[in-house]
Chain A
Amino acid sequence: MLLSPTLLVLGLVVLFPIISALRESLFTSGTKLDENGFIVKGSTFVGLDNYLDIFKGDTGDRFWNAFYNTTFFTVVCVVLETVLGVAMALIMHKAFKGRGIVRASILVPWAIPTVVSALLWKWIFQADGIANQLIGTQVLWSTEGWQSKMSVIIADTWKTAPFIGLLVLAGLQTIPAEVYEAAKVDGASVWKTFTRITLPLVKPALLVAVLFRILDTLRIFDLPFVLVGPHKDSVETLSMLAYDEAFNTRYGPAAAYATVLFIYVAVVAYAFVKILGADVIGEARARKPGGGGGGKRWRKKNAAKGSTDTSVGAVAVGGGGR
């Protein structure tokens, strides 16, 4: 009974915008002037031209540059955030005096809106800002080059590593203390305990956190836009291209850019989930011959690690997906 209103709402808020954007991307308007200097009204159907234009000539260079930047930010930021986030979670999980304050302060960056933190970092990174005073030389962070990429990575990592920390902390708290006690009795080193017990057991929660971050970073817009500025080749991302086209009232090409990005995000998410899924039902898959290539490789790696993680994985991922 509840299903049909739910589907209706989903159709309205999910399906309709997607279809309308897809439709929009097949049209173009407002490109020709009549003899009085007025823009000829109405939109014309151009088929896939908006998509083809993305890959042609100057626009093509701009697209591939943005595509590279988007991917680069995603890979570098997510890796850094994962490492730092796990470290933060381990610190937050430890029982010590003042744990509440440490937990709260680690989470502060995540609570600040991106635009605000971008402005904050812009101020830190300006020519006579704190960052330059600390390192003692004048690096012009917002100009084209590696330094502007780095400023985005620093600001993004600062803001979102706590998010991974938070989710991993939740995962850590589901690990029963007996497991660690048993490891201690067996004389396992700290590193061994971490790689053999902690990491496999929090992996499900960690993977969800990483997936969220990947999806988020692929759409990164406000941070480079505010921190470094629009039209800067070093940090221009796919979202910024779509915005730029829409800002100049070319909604057809803007929708085409957005659709390309949408497909890219969907493919990355699907690939990630495919790997994740193979892990979740690892045992069921093992009996079935000829699983996916990615799944096979993943399973092989896991085989060495021991097999306790699978069942916990299913439960935790279900919880994390929420």
Chain B
Amino acid sequence: MRFERSHTRKAAFLAVASSLALLATACGGDDGSSGSGGSSSANALEGRGPITLASGKDTSGNLQNQLNAWNAAHPTEKVELKELPDDADAQRQQMVQNAQNQSDAYSVLVMDVVWTSEFAANQWITQIPEDKVPDLGKLVPATVETAKYRDKLYGVPITSDGGLLYYRKDLLTAAGITDPPKTWDELLADCQKVAATPGGKGMNCYAGQFEKYEGLTVNFSEAINSAGGSIVDKDGKPDVDTPEALAGAQELQNGFKTGAIPKAAITYKEEESRRAFQDGKLLFLRNWPYVYSLANKTDGSSKVAGKFAVAPLPGKSGPGVSSLGGHDYAISSFAKNKATAVDFINFMASEAQQKDNLTKTSLAPTWASLYDDPALAKQFPYLPQLKASIASAQPRPRVVKYGDVTAAIQQTAYDILSKPATDPKTALADLQTKLQSLITQ
């Protein structure tokens, strides 16, 4: 009997121990935010001295060069780079944890454009008076909007990103089409014309990113915005139960139903869709500018090098609307030396630094003037299209509970696209109800 009991205990202990790892995750974020407000002192941008920059992994290698330039000019106010993981979700998690511990380890945060509302509402980042950022008016306005919460500025956009329509120029020309399609209907018609030519055999028409992840929110928003609808209106209220939104959702659903969008596209993220285009399986591809140089590589990795061009995304009756990507620099509320942080952000936002960054890393800048620079346009032929894309781009919903909102959008979009029996009208009405409970708090 005694033996049995001790054995039972041992095994029960094992069970406890193995569940521990899980519990530890859950209680990792303590209620560190219970401290009293302190927002007035957090708003004062004072103090000079060394600061840190929390950024995702710098894959280009140019960020450190930019920091070195700053450090050489400001020996007493050096910036140290704190590299976070490559994955955006993991970056956000580390920044949230850091903020909940009220740690001053990160001074300047490199934030994805969709995080602003959540971080600002939690007062994890500091409001920046607009007169502290002299060049704000010279940036593309749509990018500046991403850094605002309730009309107050909480960051400065440093890089931007917009969707582009990549198309097979060679096949369109062979089918006698001179201009890329401006509308979704034109795009479908072009596909049929190309399919009739010998070069178009076995080609799929169009693909974007339709796997159930953030990219689906981007693509679904683009379809709805391009058809004249919106997911969240100008006042921040959900507005997805409209005929325009329905038209946009139906375009994508019909694309899957008719096979214009290949079935496999439901599993595509950026890279899968890029590979399909590079392997010559797609006539049209919606993707970000980074694809341009990769698809033009002549080392054999791309079968379409020199055969494609870019255009703005197609819309209902004219050019479509892209979802806005990119990164903003914000100041942690718990940071020391905030005056230095503001200066540093202005340095990074300057035209010279952005130009340097564009030429070395091809990251899209936020300065409007850089898109019109002829020398740059020669190096990056997609810049005029990208400018048009970013200038008319819509931000994704700017809401505090962005994680829940994007999950709800993904759920609805995925059902509409992957289950042909789903009625888009009811699905959008359900989404409207869900968003209403998530957005009004």
Partners in one complex: yes
Q: Are A41 and B37 in contact (CB under 8 A)?
A: yes
Residues of chain A within 8 A of B212, CB atoms compared: 229-232
Q: Is B441 an interface residue (CB 8 A)?
A: yes
Judged by DSSP, the binding face of B is helix
| Residue from B8, B100, B263, B267 within 8 A of A273 (CB atoms) | B8
Q: Is B177 an interface residue (CB 8 A)?
A: no
**Nearest 8 pairs between A and B by C-beta?**
A269-B15, A127-B264, A258-B26, A273-B11, A248-B403, A21-B27, A21-B23, A43-B31
Which residues of B33-74 have CB atoms within 8 Å of chain A's CB atoms?
33-37, 39
Residues of chain A within 8 A of B161, CB atoms compared: none
Question: Residues on A close to B: CB < 8 A?
Answer: 13-14, 17-18, 20-21, 24, 27, 29-33, 36-39, 41-43, 126-128, 138, 140, 142-144, 211, 215-216, 219, 221, 229-232, 239, 242-244, 246-249, 251, 254-255, 257-259, 261-262, 265-266, 269-270, 272-274, 276-277, 280-281, 284, 314, 317-318, 321
Q: Is B196 an interface residue (CB 8 A)?
A: no
Ordered by A's residue number, 14 sampled pairs between the chains whose C-beta atoms are within 8 Å are A20-B30, A30-B122, A39-B400, A42-B33, A138-B263, A219-B19, A246-B29, A248-B404, A254-B26, A261-B19, A266-B12, A277-B8, A280-B4, A321-B14
What's the least CB distance linking B306 to chain A, in Å? 24
What's the least CB distance linking B144 to chain A, in Å? 18
A36 to B151, CA, bound (A): 11
Residues of chain A within 8 A of B441, CB atoms compared: 31-33
Q: Are A251 and B27 in contact (CB under 8 A)?
A: yes
Residues of chain A within 8 A of B93, CB atoms compared: 247
Residue of A nearest to B440 (CB): A33
What's the least CB distance linking B75 to chain A, in Å? 38
Q: A36-B150, A43-B31, A246-B26 are in contact. Are A18 and B20 (CB under 8 A)?
A: yes
Q: A24-B26, A42-B33 are in contact. Are A265 and B19 (CB under 8 A)?
A: yes
Q: Is B10 an interface residue (CB 8 A)?
A: yes
A126 to B276, CA, bound (A): 12
Residues of chain B within 8 A of A247, CB atoms compared: 89, 93, 403
Residues of chain A within 8 A of B28, CB atoms compared: 246
Q: Are A30 and B33 in contact (CB under 8 A)?
A: yes
A43 to B401, CA, bound (A): 17
Q: A142-B211, A243-B25, A273-B7 are in contact. Are A17 and B15 (CB under 8 A)?
A: no
What's the least CB distance linking B16 to chain A, in Å? 6
Interface string of B175-199 (1 = CB under 8 A from A): 0000000000000000000000000
* Of listed B264, B267, B411, residue having the most chain A CB within 10 A: B267
A36 to B43, CA, bound (A): 14
14 more contacts with CB within 8 A, not counting A17-B20, A231-B411, A266-B15, are: A13-B20, A17-B23, A39-B400, A127-B264, A140-B263, A215-B18, A231-B407, A242-B26, A249-B122, A251-B31, A258-B22, A276-B7, A281-B4, A317-B7
